[in-house]
Structure 1
């Protein structure tokens, strides 16, 4: 076995970057000049990087996680130093040699592995023992009070929608402030999902000449969600769970893994994409997975952005993970939490997929179960990016030219579009993305190795 473990490719390393600026900054550090005391073994890479201060930054990466630790003050995960170190290691130029970890690196790695061993001994690979409320009756009363507050908020929102329809959609053009006030009321009602959808209504007015039609559609979906919550006791269990999650009622990950109704799915999960977003306050990481045996799609969400809340889990596209996943309840489950990992992540194959018609059918089936769904993850095989016939956009066309799917307007003008076109070069490729009412938003392309877009 390679004493340094199986090396990642440059593309797999760059796929971990939270943004384009981090990719560029990490690339500048992918040279031996600023590094000292570098080394690697089967599970980790470490080194010290010279910065602007007298003391170099200590950087270590657990490649079996992967997870990152750096003494720099950056709030990005991974930081440019971790990316630079991994790129230096991936280049296999002999700068990162096999050896024993430095004391500072070994201490952090030992702590991680000790925690992993404790977790491995817990039922179903739980990350923590199940939480038992000190006073179950008090917890039940708190849950009932929150349901009542959300119900009152939904009733108030229904009145707001009725007033809008009676006064006419044109009145919304001058009512942005009132939407913000209504959203704040939904926050007070402890219904963040309703608040988010209300804020979206205020942005629809400025979305273009056809905004009244779009506003009516969004109002109809919001009305449907209100009515679903107000009559939630009459809904089938899976649909009721979907409604709860859409209004903002969440299930704790620990309960999914160790609660009385815990159920996990073990598979070899191929990492299809990793996407980070930053709203200035919170970093969100979305990792899409596909089961090799089950064919099920999964979405792992993590949040962080402060020194006390790092984005610990990072999985570059192209890896495969033998692990247990527990799905959050819903009529069309997609979001999942990671349970026990049975083996370190390893390079995986190009994912199987289908054509345009299969992608649209998958989105349609998911939308039937969850009418508030914006998109559904799909893998397209043998598709080619080509300009649209009207010259105003791009589309992915099947190899036979019989079907085409427009690219989501959010991808137009982004470097990802031109990267996709350049990688394809007019030839069919495999693309993973989110298929929805706007078209498809491509996230990863295989050439044959995965490249994040």
Structure 2
């Protein structure tokens, strides 16, 4: 997938879908039946898809850069990529699109030429890829101070609401319903503290959510109280922890760490969506630096995020870290080559070491849900009504999170293992382990599980 002409896998194609409905619809169009006039010249894939009208939809995809594909389709859909683009890519991934070098149809060639002309103009206007010059630093400082004052006012109000909740008893939270929490979250949005608003909304979903919900509510209230106090007393915190608090509250930060060039293995990619935003999480592992980093990319509702890095490939690029104690988020800088196939596997740890690693990470970030971990030589095994990853060489295991047990990826992992130890990358946290990618015993390509 790093070179023009290398075909993608179906998993890599479906990872581009903006939502589940698009994945399903695109899957139905990944067969030859509705298609005609398909072809590829290595960097472009095109075809005509029969629709409800008399004229077929003209669909073309630029696949020259696997991390930033582009799409054009004659259908009226506002989703990018649309189901026709996904279906065409699935057809191509399956080897059912023939090479047609030198025979690109005019409608596809014109779009591609215009797209690359505009890209060349942008590069000529900004050859260094520089960002806009910063504005008045004094004005920026005053804006930051005003926002900090609003966040402080919001955090103070939130402390009072938590106090009222505990004084009235947790049972009152069940009677009050979700409206009280949504009102509080809206107040945090007004205070320009989106991180606090998000955690408040999560609190609102806990009452009456199942057995022991008061315990979970109290735990989350304690973490929210700790974050509030961290903000209100941020001047007394170490610099790294203060940066983590600012990030958790929702204040923007720049990736100001020194650029680190490495061959970054794409460990996993998955999307988390709500009604307003789709967040794409991409985990990378540096072959030389042995660092794990997280890239975040965003797309408005109905649109897939721009950045897409296929699992199992390696990217020669620079990353810059964001501030914060124990924070793994980074920004993708200059890329020196397209993503390339690689036989690299990250070193694994035991299940006991994975749990210990999460515990250590909580010292730097008490609000951390999970840490990225690669488990070596584990076997998926049933555990009553749930599942676990059992260490093949020790009498220890990690339970799978409830969300992981309900995904098709679990059965893919079980089939890949066949009872033999496998290497699994995922996220380890207080709810258990979520497998995201696995490697079969011995040699073999990475298999996405999400």
TM-score by length of 2: 0.89
SS of 1:344 mapped into structure 2:
coil
Residue in 1 that maps onto 2:5: 5
Residue 148 to residue 327, structure 1, CA distance change in 2 (3 Å): same
1:11-44 per-residue CA deviation (whole Å, 9 max, x = no partner) reads: 4334444555444433333344433443334433
Looking at structure 2, the residues matched to 358 and 120 of structure 1 have their Cα atoms a distance apart, in angstroms, of 47
Residue 108 to residue 420, structure 1, CA distance change in 2 (3 Å): farther
Residue in 1 that maps onto 2:317: 323
1:30-179 mapped onto 2 (5 Å cutoff): 30-53=30-53, 54-64=55-65, 65-71=67-73, 72-93=75-96, 95-99=98-102, 101=104, 102-111=108-117, 113-114=119-120, 117-118=123-124, 121-122=127-128, 126=129, 128-133=130-135, 135-176=136-177, 177-179=179-181
Q: Of 242, 245, 250, which residue of structure 2 is paired with 1:243?
A: 245
- Aligned pair 1:217/2:219, yes or no? yes
SS of 1:204 mapped into structure 2:
coil
Q: Which runs of 5+ in 1 are unaligned?
A: none
Q: Of 333, 340, 358, which residue of structure 2 is paired with 1:339?
A: 333
TM-score by length of 1: 0.88
SS of 1:395 mapped into structure 2:
strand
Please, what is the CA RMSD of the aligned residues?
2.6
Looking at structure 2, the residues matched to 145 and 19 of structure 1 have their Cα atoms a distance apart, in angstroms, of 38
> Which range moves more in the overlay, 239-248 or 271-280?
271-280
Instruction: Find runs of 4+ consecutive structure 1 residues off by over 6 angstroms.
Output: none
SS of 1:384 mapped into structure 2:
strand
1:408-447 per-residue CA deviation (whole Å, 9 max, x = no partner) reads: 0112233222222222222222222111000011122224
Q: Given that residues 4 and 63 in structure 2 are in contact (C-alpha distance below 8 angstroms), is that contact kept between their aligned partners in structure 1?
A: no
Residue in 2 that maps onto 1:268: 263
Residue 32 to residue 319, structure 1, CA distance change in 2 (3 Å): same
> Which range moves more in the overlay, 364-373 or 111-120?
111-120
Q: How many residues are matched?
A: 438
Residue 131 to residue 46, structure 1, CA distance change in 2 (3 Å): farther
SS of 2:284 mapped into structure 1:
strand
Residue in 1 that maps onto 2:447: 451
1:354-365 mapped onto 2 (5 Å cutoff): 354-365=349-360
Q: Which runs of 5+ in 2 are unaligned?
A: none
Looking at structure 1, the residues matched to 309 and 338 of structure 2 have their Cα atoms a distance apart, in angstroms, of 11
Residue in 2 that maps onto 1:202: 204
Residue 11 to residue 283, structure 1, CA distance change in 2 (3 Å): closer
